Amino acid sequence: MPYSEFLADRVKQRLSSHGLTEVKKMMGGLVFMVNDKMCVGVDTDRKTGDDRLMVRVGKAVCDDLLDLPGCREMDFTGKPMKGFLFVYPEGFDTDSDLDFWVEKALAFNQDGAVASKKKR
Average pLDDT over residues 104-119: 68
Average pLDDT over residues 75-95: 92
Higher pLDDT among residues 67 and 1, named by residue = 67
- The runs of H, that is alpha helices, within the chain are 5-15, 59-65, 95-119
For the chain, domains (ranges, CATH) are 5-111 (3.90.1150.30)
Predicted structure pTM score: 0.88
Average pLDDT over residues 77-97: 94
- The runs of H, that is alpha helices, within 16-120 are 59-65, 95-119
Q: What is the pLDDT of residue 110?
A: 87
pLDDT > 90: percent of the chain: 73
pLDDT interval class at 112 (50, 70, 90): low
Q: Which residues of 37-69 are buried (b: 16+ CB within 10 A; e: fewer)?
A: ebbbbbbbeeeeeebbbbbbbbeeebeebeeee
Specify whether the CB–CB gap between 100 and 90 falls below 8 A.
Answer: no
Q: What is the pLDDT of residue 1?
A: 54
Output the CA torsion sign for 16, 19, 24, 29: negative
